[in-house]
Amino acid sequence: MPANKKHLTKSLHQRIAKISAAILGGYLVTMSLHLALAQWLDRSTVLITATFTGFILWAALMVVAFLGKNGWKTWGVYLLLTAVFMGVVYAGKLYLPESI
């Protein structure tokens, strides 16, 4: 059964924004979260579990990217989350220099 046309995104820019946010933005958020966790927790444990939880989180973020109406807002949220997680990594490097 084909999708109802009224629910599909008509703008090419919105489609590109949603697809790129789903693939690239979801990956950036996933990896920055796992890097932040690895900075503050046991690095080897986080990196081993990241192989499974990373894929699950990335797939969930891909679905979430298509739920919103505006792909650019999704990009903004994903970039904000990535910046927050990278700030946590930076803080970990400042306060835990022995774990570098």
> Residues 39-98: pLDDT tens digits?
988 888 998 999 899 999 999 999 999 998 899 999 999 999 999 999 999 998 888 776
pTM: 0.85
Read off the tokens for 68: 């919103």
On whether the CB atoms of residues 22 and 61 are closer than 8 A, the answer is yes
Mean of the per-residue pLDDT values for the chain?
90
Q: 10 Å Cβ neighbour count for 37?
A: 21
d(CA 91, CA 76): 22
Of the candidates 10, 7, 5, 19, which has an alpha carbon nearest to the alpha carbon of residue 75? 19
pLDDT single digits (tens) 5-22: 776 767 889 999 999 999
